Structure 1
Amino acid sequence: MFFHYNTYNCIRSYLCLWSRSISKTSRIIPKPNLSASAYQPQFVEKHVYQEWERNGLFTPENFSDKPSFSMVLPPPNVTGKLHLGHALAGTVQDVIVRRKRATGHNVLWLPGTDHAGIATQGVVEKYLKSRHNLTRHGLGRDKFNKEVWKWKEKHGNTICQQLRTMGYSLDWGREMFTMDRKHINAVNLAFIRLFQKGLIYRQKALVNWCNTLQSTVSDIEVDNVEITGPTELRLPGYNEPVKFGQLYDFAYRICDSMEEVVVSTTMPETMLGDVAVAVHPDDSRYKHLRKKRVIHPFNGNTLPIIFDDFVDMKFGTGAVKITPAHSKIDYEVAKEHKLELHQVIDEQGNIINSKEYNGLKKYHCREEIVKRLDGLGLLKKVTPHSMSLPICNRTNDVIEYLPKEQWFLNCSSLNKKAIEVVEKGELKIQPEKFVKNWMNWCKDDRDWCVSRQLWWGQEIPGYKCTYGSNTTWVAANDEHEAKDISAKFLDIEADKIQVEKDTDVLDTWFSSAIYPFSSLGWPDKYSLDYDKFYPLNLMATGHDILGLWVHRMVILGLELTDNLPFKNVLLHGIICDNKGSKMSKSKGNVIDPIDVINGISLDELKKKTEKMYADGILSKSELVKSLEYHKSNFSNTKGIPECGVDALRFTLLSQDIKSHFVNFDVNMCHSNKLFCNKIWQSVKYTHLQFAKLKELPKKRTILENDLTFFDAWILSRLAYMIDIVNTAMGNHDFHLATKALRTFIYNEFCDVYLETTKPGFEHKDKKIGYAHAHTLSTILNASLRCLNPFMIYLTYDLIPRIPQFEESIIYNFNDYDEKYFKYPQSDEFSKWRNINLEIQVDQFLSTIFLIRQLKGYYNISNKLRPTVYINTTNNVLKADINKYSDIVKNLTKCDNIQFGEVTNKNVVSGQLDKDTKLYVELLGKDLNVAMREAKAKLMKKVNKLEDYLAKLEQKMSSPNYVNLSEFTRMIDRENEKSKREELMQLKRLVVDDVLPDDKGKDDNMKLS
């Protein structure tokens, strides 16, 4: 408890430096000046995170009465570096937990890193080879793993420091690594318990095998690359490229007959392992071949012809070879028809069990087999063919399917529970469209291969126990326990049993599947963290690992803890570039978030990319594509401009994260940096205006009725924004929250309201200035608190600097907890909402915007200050403009406003609505020339917009439109909406004034 209170007092002492100490002699609390002329992220963000961490701002209280909220960060690879995918995922989670703290929750957000067996082993192998010309086999397992630990200690904290840079409010005091002894013990216990329940077993079955890694790999490490025709690929272990994308037709001869059956295959080398030929039972071409057999041309064995409806009668000849030892489909067919497995490719990718071809690499053997089949007259044809080629994304080697003895987890009963919790609503998946994916994954009852043939990882607690010719496998904590357990099965004394520990390691996904509860202290159910924070409240992660990770956390959580590990799942999209293309090294469009934060010149970007190529991170083709991408996207800005952390976070969540894809645009990010500057300047402006105010007479006070027309309006808009933001945040619709915040702060508060206060602060009636001051203080406090979870550094710096009154006539921001800024709630501000007033002000502002638009189209300089004429039957609008004419003049840079009929012929006009038409005096221009130029400019833009919308409508009404990606359709919808709004705005500029010498001419240029 001493640490808890000591930390709290440290925080409190620190925040006293920022405190809003109340002056007894002044109503206004004095604040330090904002010395910088503009927002500079490198200064605002510097050293702040270290202070937060040092003062324990992210540490939850075990004995707090506040409602608990807990999440774990999906652990990134220990050897990884921050990429935009991490930045998106982390920002989503950080925004959630920061808002939870600000609404009074006791929050645990737990960090950790994953040992990432395949990735880490690969990185260290490359390092040893390039620096010391050593291989892991040359070192031996023990020495190699020591090198991996050295690498981890030296480089493993890189990504954690980068997560700190992003400002993620993780409790680093609870940080976990999946090779920590605590986690390894939990993993071992999970394995043993599942084995004891009969759910984990050892069996020979077909697995994904990577020859280069010399290990099985999970489905997520396999990319199914589409080959559209003959394509040459360079593969590890081959000096010459290997050709794919061809279909080979060759014949099997029927026993005791001159007849042949022609089969089609893309892998002729596997015919050495054929055990049958299959045709469809309804295929009339082959019905007479029931109970017939074919002769293998190389070994003389006879193979059965089987009938199975899995065969596609339209594929090739309608007859296919069955090679169960090297095809997942054939493996399932063989089990059903009780066919043997004949393995002809080994773990190195060489041919075995075939006398004349043994030792040949499989693709060299392919060439020999095709030649021999041709020589025997059995090769019928070779044709181009589209195919899907399984490629290991770690090594770029072609995946081989091999029968191997492995450890498996039986998922049948576990999947039923996983389906049931979703159907009953106990587990909620957001967005709901992914429930279908969940059900499909759960209904696929394939067992999960949990073993890997790696050296780096968590060793399987499995032991091979032998006595004489009898062998059994058991799961145990050590050899002694293994002997005791196996003695019961072998019916022999334990000390007579020979024990050999399995050298395989567990699939990393198995380790991370128990992470939500092992990280909180499981299996110790009396752990304070486990008791208070398990189950987690939410799991947020990418939709691409719904099956590989989320599903597995659920099934093991239910089985091992009798509880769901979390009851809510939020799935976000995959990060893409500004054109909607998934970011990948192969496309060259990967953007480093650190470069976005700090900025980087085009020359430095080139040097950095070339170094990645020199270090073996990028291939030659990836280097070329990266440099091309940088040149085409960043040449205009001469690199990536400095944006800062806050702008990056805000930009990432400005897109709908629930979409399949989330696109990122550096230009938008830089625009959000300018938004940060707008906020900075608004606080600076508020300081300047507060400095002008003097003490009110003692007998007079500011009341709510003293608020001006625009004070009341901006407070109404604030209430609306707070309601939108709270609803959006509750639904995890962050793009709606960021849009509402930017619209309110940038467009309504900064661009409009601040301008309306300038005359008020200069007015002789000081109450107007004080009313503005109260409003400014409230607006900034409330809006920046809403913005705080997104823009953490800027708001942390500015909120304490906002001038404030001891007693506000609008709202007092007394924080419930000095560590966090209280988050504004909708009901606290709802009384300020006035929809009728908003409609009234909207008319007023629309008048101003149309005047600005007309001035812009006709290039009327602000220095000339023209007269504005308003012809309207809207008496409310007329009264407002008369009352606030100084504001209209200030915002439009016009000199005079007149109502009624227009006598001045030297004007341009625009239609506000059916009741109101505006005219702006055309000064300093030749009317004839200006009108013609404007008409041509306007018509060109209108015609262009109408053509664009017509083509877009045609595209969207096409029958094939539904086949386009969700991202493309989303962009089209957004474009249609924005272009229609733009067209509507242009059509308000009604250029229908007929010039004296233009009567009867140019009627086609009039707009209605």
Structure 2
Amino acid sequence: MDIGKRYTPNEIETKWYKFWIDNELFKAKGEGNGKFSMVIPPPNITGKIHMGHALNISLQDIVTRFNRMQGKDTLWLPGEDHAGIATQHVVEKFLMKSEGKRKEDYGREEFIDRVWKWANEYRDHIKKQIMAIGASVDWSRERFTLDDGLNKAVRKVFVELYNEGLIYKGKYIVNWCPSCGTVLSDEEVEHKDEKGAFYHIKYPIKGEDNYIIIATTRPETMLGDTAIAVHPSDERYKDYVGKVAILPLVGREIPIIADKYVDPSFGTGALKVTPAHDPNDYLMGQRHNLETVQIMDEFAKINENGGKYAGLDRKEARKAVVEDLEKEGYLVKIEEMTHSVGHCYRCNTVVEPFLLDQWFVKMKPLAEKAIDAVEKADIKFYPGRWKKVYLNWMNEIRDWCISRQLWWGHRIPVWYCDDCGHINVSEEDIHTCQKCGSTNIRQDEDVLDTWFSSALWPFSTLGWPENTDDLKKYYPTDLLVTGFDIIFFWVARMIVMGEKFMEDKPFSDVYIHQLVRDKYGRKMSKSLGNGIDPLEIIEKFGADPMRFTLAILAAQGRDIKLDPQAFESYSKFANKIWNATRFVLLNMDDFEKIDLTPEMLELEDKWMLSKLNKTINTVTDALKKYEFNIAARALYDFFWNEYCDWYIEAVKNRLKSENKKIAQNVLVRVLDSSLRLLHPFMPFLTEELWQNLPRITEEKYLITAKWPEYMEEHSFIKEEEEFEKIKAFIRGIRNVKAEINIPQITKVEVAYKTLRDDSWIKNNQSLIKELAFVTKLEIVDSKPAKAATSYVDDTIEAYVKLGDLIDIEAEKERLNKKKEKLEKEFMKYDKKINNANFMAKAPEDVIEEVKEKHAFVKSQIEKLEKLLEELN
């Protein structure tokens, strides 16, 4: 049997993905030993999948394939998100560039048709990218956040919440993007540090030759000031409270009020209050019954309330206001500073606090059960520290602004009657007023926040509000894998909606995956040019090496520092698996499956089966705990170091003998189990290889084959310990050769003195000689001259006879130079570790890296010192 010399991932991946789809092997069929269900975090249709998506999808697929192989009825449900703001923004830009038209030029219906056409095309792009990664999602159940079923669910939820008084419409300060022309939630605002200034301005006191100085970063908003606020306990201003100030440039009389919100230590301790343009000022205005003066429009231009500044955009207005303040003697000074400024997460425009009529969900009453579910551990976070982050946010939760000034999205199911003023809220489209019967009604222009439909994803995708079979079987789901940045956007809201409408949690576990950074720990971004395209990696190395790389780096609680060279390293691992399988297949002439009994097995066979047993336990336990890196590392070490480097080498001579059947059977059984364990991580490669193995079970496909189980009869503790001693003995000989530049294939003589039991050496002399290239293995009373110690334990000391193999003096000189170089390197790390300033300020991962290098170099120096002592 021969699978060919070359591992060609692209051919294998295309073939097997099509095969799995054609044979419906991803499809949940309602049969199995228990169930596992999970919904995919629906990717936005606007984008290309990046390395964070690749990690997210790979980890989900690992868990899905693991559960499927455990015999569970497994559903991983796919879908895409319509991404309201992002999609409309991208399509508007595209149409302006290609046709020179704004959305208003088309009208709402035609524009929406254009977006649907664009959306369907990009949904296909996203789908192909997910397929390229190898995701075993059930495509027969694919959903879209704007499909008819989800639209029905969205409307039902809106109407029920409205009827319960949990959805309301009211004026509120919102985050407004003047460029996208819509509201943003707090989580959609990205804060960036920018250079700015404090403008110190005199506000004259009415009837007095006196003034209060205000420091503000936004002097243009003073046109809408309706009060000055100071802290009640601030002695500096206590006599001013109750008096009236004159607003510079405008002349409006404004009261001086006392409010505990004011921080006396910030700025001058006196605060200008602009209720229409600051969320905290708005709340203060509500407390003190202040007038609200809005001085900007939706394009961030000064409106008619801004007097002579009307028509200027906010930047122009700031310049003009500052010039006039200086001209009229109100400007005291300008103080440069750096402050945090909110930007739109989509178009990067500076966000404007804006007073608008919006639709809101009252979150406090809905949050109680969602808090309880996590506090009682009905829902568990991995890593556990995210539980605290979630609870902190939920306990301080604010009402959720759910309306967006867009055309693309779920249109709000509210109709206003222009005759009687009645607000009609309905799950179905209506054409007459429910109160007066008038046909003079119009639907609310706004759409719902994208996250509103996404919040229903775990149950709406399963057919809710209908009581479908899928809903009964697969809700609640078992796991959600997502990034930390959408805990508040999405995770919390799904828990809220699940508890409200299903009266049950939406999932049991939430795994928060790592952030993928570049090799220096920097966030990947277009501006830095340090992003890595997963599709390019797949094209170059294959999906399996990419997936394995991401998994082995995915330690819980630590961001991934991704060096592109890592993909090459684990591409070599994939090649190793291919070549090892090829070797096994080429040695399967006349293979005959036999039942193995302990009496048949050699020491190395028992050791190999015992190590496999432990690996099965380690990998199974790690995957159940979502410790992907531990599972991947255990598989890498087992397959490469134990199976390939030791067991295959140990049985090569046996495969040439007449009595080869036992070695063949152990080789095939261990390889079969290894491919099963590796399958969730490297599905394409393992399916291809497994299909070529001699059949030892009746199973047809690896994807649905049984997950390996621990076998008590393959637990050979004593034999495992003995073989480990032989490995250490051989490794000692190899290390001596490596350290003093003797090629590994050079034959050497080895002597050893025994203190007690040396049976493990005597019984395995041929194996030691073969694997360590030893010609003679003899017992001595003392260490021979010109020999290097290669192994020491409480029963044996072994020595490699150097004789004339090396020039000892020249070797000592070489080793001393190497030692000097290492000592310089050691001092570099030692200085850092003993530098209190470095240890206090350096990032945790940098300190950890320095400590690891410090310990490694120290151990290398100690080895050299020991070897030099031997040579002396």
Alignment TM class, shorter chain as reference: over 0.9
Specify whether residues 993 and 439 from structure 1 end up closer, same or farther in structure 2 by C-alpha distance, changes over 3 A only.
closer
User: What is the Cα deviation at residue 95 of structure 1?
Assistant: 0.9
1:676 is aligned to 2:574 = yes
Pairing partner for 2:560 from 634, 650, 662? 662
User: 5 Å matches for 1:222-621?
Assistant: 222-227=189-194, 230=195, 245-352=196-303, 353-467=305-419, 471-477=421-427, 480=430, 483-484=433-434, 487=435, 493-495=436-438, 498-525=440-467, 527-599=468-540
User: What is the Cα deviation at residue 819 of structure 1?
Assistant: 6.0
SS in 2 for 1:66: coil
Tell me the residue number matched to 1:849: 731
Whole-Å separation in 1 of the counterparts to 2:516 and 2:785: 56
Specify whether residues 913 and 252 from structure 1 end up closer, same or farther in structure 2 by C-alpha distance, changes over 3 A only.
farther
Please give the per-residue CA displacement for 1:510-538, whole angstroms capped at 9, x wherever unaligned. 0111121111111111x111121122122
Whole-Å separation in 1 of the counterparts to 2:563 and 2:549: 8
User: What is the Cα deviation at residue 268 of structure 1?
Assistant: 0.9
Specify whether residues 342 and 924 from structure 1 end up closer, same or farther in structure 2 by C-alpha distance, changes over 3 A only.
same
User: What is the Cα deviation at residue 713 of structure 1?
Assistant: 1.2
Tell me the residue number matched to 2:600: 706
Specify whether residues 653 and 948 from structure 1 end up closer, same or farther in structure 2 by C-alpha distance, changes over 3 A only.
farther
TM-score, scaled relative to structure 1: 0.82
Whole-Å separation in 1 of the counterparts to 2:477 and 2:789: 62
Amino acid at match of 1:689: N
1:136 is aligned to 2:117 = no
1:984 is aligned to 2:859 = yes
1:791 is aligned to 2:791 = no
User: What is the Cα deviation at residue 658 of structure 1?
Assistant: 3.1
Please give the per-residue CA displacement for 1:889-911, whole angstroms capped at 9, x wherever unaligned. 33333433333256764444456
SS in 2 for 1:458: coil
SS in 2 for 1:277: strand
Contact 2:830–2:854 under 8 Å retained in 1: no
Tell me the residue number matched to 2:750: 868
SS in 2 for 1:539: strand
Specify whether residues 834 and 987 from structure 1 end up closer, same or farther in structure 2 by C-alpha distance, changes over 3 A only.
farther
Q: After the TM superposition, which of the residue ranges 514-523 and 881-890 deviates more from structure 2?
A: 881-890
Specify whether residues 955 and 896 from structure 1 end up closer, same or farther in structure 2 by C-alpha distance, changes over 3 A only.
farther
Tell me the residue number matched to 1:889: 769
Contact 2:735–2:790 under 8 Å retained in 1: no
Whole-Å separation in 1 of the counterparts to 2:306 and 2:737: 86
User: What is the Cα deviation at residue 216 of structure 1?
Assistant: 0.9
User: What is the Cα deviation at residue 482 of structure 1?
Assistant: 6.2
User: What is the Cα deviation at residue 579 of structure 1?
Assistant: 2.1
User: What is the Cα deviation at residue 972 of structure 1?
Assistant: 4.0
SS in 2 for 1:825: coil
Whole-Å separation in 2 of the counterparts to 1:836 and 1:952: 45
Whole-Å separation in 2 of the counterparts to 1:843 and 1:308: 76
Tell me the residue number matched to 2:90: 123
Contact 1:945–1:983 under 8 Å retained in 2: no
Q: After the TM superposition, which of the residue ranges 980-989 and 546-555 deviates more from structure 2?
A: 980-989
Please give the per-residue CA displacement for 1:89-133, whole angstroms capped at 9, x wherever unaligned. 111111111111101101111111111111111221222122222
Tell me the residue number matched to 1:606: none
Please give the per-residue CA displacement for 1:917-957, whole angstroms capped at 9, x wherever unaligned. 5334164532211121023214532x256435534533689
Amino acid at match of 2:688: D
User: What is the Cα deviation at residue 735 of structure 1?
Assistant: 0.6
SS in 2 for 1:285: coil
Tell me the residue number matched to 1:756: 650
Contact 1:222–1:393 under 8 Å retained in 2: yes
User: What is the Cα deviation at residue 870 of structure 1?
Assistant: 3.3
Segments of structure 1 that go 5 or more residues without pairing to the other structure are: 1-31, 231-244, 488-492, 600-642, 806-812, 999-1008
User: What is the Cα deviation at residue 139 of structure 1?
Assistant: 2.4
Specify whether residues 732 and 213 from structure 1 end up closer, same or farther in structure 2 by C-alpha distance, changes over 3 A only.
same
Whole-Å separation in 2 of the counterparts to 1:782 and 1:568: 28
Whole-Å separation in 2 of the counterparts to 1:585 and 1:297: 45
Q: After the TM superposition, which of the residue ranges 943-952 and 116-125 deviates more from structure 2?
A: 943-952
User: What is the Cα deviation at residue 879 of structure 1?
Assistant: 3.1
Whole-Å separation in 2 of the counterparts to 1:712 and 1:304: 89
Amino acid at match of 2:374: V
Pairing partner for 1:74 from 30, 37, 41? 41
Specify whether residues 904 and 209 from structure 1 end up closer, same or farther in structure 2 by C-alpha distance, changes over 3 A only.
same
Amino acid at match of 2:631: A
SS in 1 for 2:573: helix
User: What is the Cα deviation at residue 442 of structure 1?
Assistant: 1.1
User: What is the Cα deviation at residue 985 of structure 1?
Assistant: 5.9
Specify whether residues 903 and 433 from structure 1 end up closer, same or farther in structure 2 by C-alpha distance, changes over 3 A only.
closer
The Cα RMSD (Å) is: 2.5
Whole-Å separation in 2 of the counterparts to 1:983 and 1:884: 35
User: What is the Cα deviation at residue 844 of structure 1?
Assistant: 2.2
Please give the per-residue CA displacement for 1:533-578, whole angstroms capped at 9, x wherever unaligned. 1221222211211111011111122222222222322221222222
Amino acid at match of 1:45: E
Q: After the TM superposition, which of the residue ranges 134-143 and 834-843 deviates more from structure 2?
A: 834-843
Whole-Å separation in 2 of the counterparts to 1:744 and 1:945: 33
Tell me the residue number matched to 2:692: 801
Contact 2:226–2:274 under 8 Å retained in 1: yes
Contact 2:826–2:857 under 8 Å retained in 1: no
Amino acid at match of 2:752: I
Specify whether residues 850 and 324 from structure 1 end up closer, same or farther in structure 2 by C-alpha distance, changes over 3 A only.
farther
Specify whether residues 345 and 657 from structure 1 end up closer, same or farther in structure 2 by C-alpha distance, changes over 3 A only.
farther
Contact 2:832–2:839 under 8 Å retained in 1: no
Amino acid at match of 1:374: E
Q: After the TM superposition, which of the residue ranges 835-844 and 532-541 deviates more from structure 2?
A: 835-844
Tell me the residue number matched to 2:661: 770
Whole-Å separation in 1 of the counterparts to 2:685 and 2:703: 16
Amino acid at match of 1:414: L
Segments of structure 2 that go 5 or more residues without pairing to the other structure are: none
Contact 1:816–1:822 under 8 Å retained in 2: no
User: 5 Å matches for 1:935-974?
Assistant: 935-941=816-822, 943-944=823-824, 946-947=826-827, 949-951=829-831, 953-954=833-834, 960-961=840-841, 968-970=843-845, 972-973=847-848
SS in 2 for 1:385: strand
Amino acid at match of 1:886: S
SS in 1 for 2:609: helix
User: What is the Cα deviation at residue 334 of structure 1?
Assistant: 2.0
SS in 1 for 2:507: coil
Amino acid at match of 1:895: T
Whole-Å separation in 2 of the counterparts to 1:263 and 1:887: 87
Specify whether residues 984 and 772 from structure 1 end up closer, same or farther in structure 2 by C-alpha distance, changes over 3 A only.
farther
Pairing partner for 1:648 from 519, 535, 546? 546
Tell me the residue number matched to 2:704: 820
Specify whether residues 899 and 288 from structure 1 end up closer, same or farther in structure 2 by C-alpha distance, changes over 3 A only.
farther
Number of aligned residue pairs: give it: 869
TM-score, scaled relative to structure 2: 0.95
Whole-Å separation in 2 of the counterparts to 1:712 and 1:960: 50
SS in 1 for 2:14: coil
1:199 is aligned to 2:151 = no
Whole-Å separation in 2 of the counterparts to 1:257 and 1:857: 90
Pairing partner for 1:689 from 587, 591, 595? 587
Specify whether residues 344 and 790 from structure 1 end up closer, same or farther in structure 2 by C-alpha distance, changes over 3 A only.
same
Contact 1:910–1:988 under 8 Å retained in 2: no
